[in-house]
């Protein structure tokens, strides 16, 4: 299969697709638990011809006391239920700060999956050590994440004070049970002829 990056695909996409895509997610948290799942729809995304991105339907439950995570992800037309430990990230905290959603946040940098550079901003005003997707492990809640080379960002827009109950943290149950490692290996085998596009797809799927 010809590499998408070498056959004019990227140039075609730049000319025919919107420059940006914005999706909304909700992140519920209580003490040492978080639940990340799709939020309100964005009608502008209906203008994008090729449908949903890899992570548009992700649901991720994290229990930081038990150091366990359960993720429900749709990859192509299959749904996987990933049961694994929470991601371990070696953060380097800096002195840079930024205000996000009314909170003073400190910057931290890291490298994940061997090659993906991550910039995160966290606040110690919220003690839950979680964040969007599977980003976690800082001394407070992560309210902003950027993957500069992948051109992807997550930023909190507002904080809602609600009394959440245990029933609000529904652990995902749907899909074929796998681990992060077994899902990654399965995708490598399935997409081995996809070139650079396949590598990027795998990164997005296991992020």
Most confident of 36-50, 117-131, 163-177, 183-197: 117-131
Parallel, antiparallel, or unpaired for β 176-178 and 78-85? parallel
**pTM, whole model, 2 decimals?**
0.85
Cβ count within 10 A of residue 76:
11
Per-residue pLDDT at 56: 87
Per-residue pLDDT at 1: 37
CA-to-CA separations, 16 to 12, 47, 87, 144, in angstroms, rounded = 6, 11, 36, 29
Per-residue pLDDT at 196: 80
Domain 4-206, CATH among 2.50.20, 2.40.128, 1.10.150, 1.10.3470: 2.50.20
Domain boundaries, the chain: 4-206
Per-residue pLDDT at 2: 40
Compute the mean pLDDT over every residue in the chain, rounded to the nearest whole number.
87
């Amino acid at each position: 299969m010809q590499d998408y990056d070498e056959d004019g695909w990227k140039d075609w996409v730049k000319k025919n697709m919107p420059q940006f895509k914005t999706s909304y997610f909700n992140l519920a948290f209580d003490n040492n638990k978080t639940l990340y799942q799709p939020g309100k729809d964005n009608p502008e995304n209906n203008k994008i011809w090729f449908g949903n991105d890899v992570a548009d339907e992700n649901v991720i439950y994290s229990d930081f006391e038990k150091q366990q995570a359960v993720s429900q992800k749709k990859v192509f037309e299959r749904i996987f239920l990933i049961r694994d430990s929470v991601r371990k990230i070696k953060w380097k905290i800096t002195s840079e700060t930024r205000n996000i959603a009314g909170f003073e946040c400190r910057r931290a940098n890291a490298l994940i999956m061997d090659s993906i550079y991550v910039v995160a901003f966290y606040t110690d005003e919220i003690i839950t050590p979680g964040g969007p997707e599977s980003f976690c492990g800082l001394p407070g809640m992560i309210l902003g994440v950027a993957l500069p080379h992948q051109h992807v960002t997550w930023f909190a827009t507002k904080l809602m004070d609600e009394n959440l109950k245990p029933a609000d943290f529904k652990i995902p149950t749907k899909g074929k049970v796998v681990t992060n490692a077994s899902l990654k290996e399965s995708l490598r085998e399935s997409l081995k002829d996809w070139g650079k596009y396949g590598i990027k797809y795998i990164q997005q799927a296991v992020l």
